[in-house]
Amino acid sequence: MASASHRRSLRARRVVVVSAAAVVAVGGAGVVVLNANAGTTVDLYHRTLAAKDGWASSGTGTTGGAKADAAHTFTVSTRAQLVKALGSVSDTTPRIIKVKGTIDANTDAAGKKLTCADYASGTGYALTAYLKAYDPATYGRSKLPSGTQEKARAAAQDRQAENVVLKVPANTSIVGVPGTKAGITGGMLQIQNVDNVIVRNLTFAATEDCFPQWDPTDGDAGNWNSEYDSVTLRGATHVWADHNTFTDAAHFDSANPTYYGREYQIHDGALDITKGSDLVTVERNQFTDHDKTMLIGSSDTDSTGKLRVTIHHNVWKGIVQRAPLARLGQIHLYNNVYDTTTLHGYAPQYSINSRAKAQVVAQNNYWKVPAGGKIAKLLSGDGTGSVAGSGNLVNGTATDLVAAYNAAASKKIKTSVNWTPTLTAGLETSAKNLLTELASTTGAGVLS
């Protein structure tokens, strides 16, 4: 729907949809909308990020593939078509990719469905053999797996990656075609060391690693660690992620088996922003049914002077943690909704984690907390991060989240930051209506 501000304030804007007779059919030039205030006509696929709309509007702004010519405008419905449309990651020619329907990344060039067994075939990997080789009772817990089965696991994982990792070049817009249930299942959009990318109106589901690695040194009891975020930013700049839905469906974590006493985790992040990524705006998305949802900064030494991210008007529901986990950067969170009700077995640990000297400003967000939920557990930190801001509501009541957390924690969250947000288009001064407003204006399938 709507204008370059993509429904930031439905009450303040009017949008006139041109009649069907006046537009090219879905998959062609696209649905055209008229911004009644500005008097300009821009179709969904050429939409660019509005001025002052978060960190991604800084400097040169984010325009994606808006300047694409006809030869670089694609409509895709299969993995093979999508790969061809993406082309070489080194080709910076502006391109628009319209995703029509749901694309299964676990398919071959002919569209045949690929399974975990297909990826493992010929590598020598077998889960039963892997479990026997690295059983802590015999292998121990002091070192990572090595040897025949670990090499075979890595080889099988590499084969899956060849299919499911979709590399996005600079100056690209990837937009779901309205009314087609547009999205990608089982895949990862990799936006790495490129500038100026737009991702909109897509459902990302079932991003699963067939071959998690056992790490006995991860934590006190070890962990199974997987690859593949639904969308991953690594060293990327000027990225706008808008009106997308991220979910583990149809395979929820509650269906994962347990090996060595630990969950066999096949999911990684939903939308991770790491390796010195910078100038990112994440807005009007829905994050649901997921554990480790958004990581900003891959380590405590990821990058200094980067990792500047704006996150606004998103809905987080059925999220265990990392909404986000922020390190080092300047993060602005405003007008988001956090529903901490347990959903499909996803029980919340915390919403926002500020660590490694992260500078978070949280303004006018809304938390829905069920009876018995503890406000002190909405935040987390390592004693070096900051969370400033005001206007945050818990079940409709103004609440000092940091004070609640610090009263119960030994490692206190700081309350002052070294920067002041200025790129705040659409900032609503009250969070009281967000729970209702964002229920119908966020996620994939809303834009038209």
Tell me which residues are annotated as active site. Answer: 322
Residue closest to 236 by CA, chosen among 198, 194, 274, 270: 194
Q: Give the Cβ contact number of residue 194 at 10 Å.
A: 23
Give phi and psi for 67, each to the nearest 5. Answer: -95, 15
> What type of residue is 292?
K
117 to 163, 209, 257: CA distances (angstroms): 14, 12, 18
Rounded to whole angstroms, the Cα distance separating 145 from 156 reads 15
Amino acid found at 107: T
Rounded distance between C-alpha atoms, residue 227 and residue 160, angstroms: 10
End-to-end Cα spacing for the chain = 4
C-alpha closest to that of 286 among 251, 253, 241? 241
Cβ neighbours around 27 below 10 Å, total = 16
Separation of alpha carbons 411 and 405, rounded Å: 10
Could you tell me the maximum CA-CA distance found in the chain, to the nearest angstrom? Answer: 71
Q: What is the DSSP string of 85-136?
A: HH--TT----EEEEE-SEEESSB-TT--B--HHHHHTTTT--HHHHHHHT-H
Locate 432 and state its tokens.
Answer: 């009281």
Q: What is the DSSP letter of 24?
A: P
State the Cα–Cα distance between residues 394 and 407, nearest whole angstrom: 17
Q: CA 349 to CA 322: how far, in whole Å?
A: 9
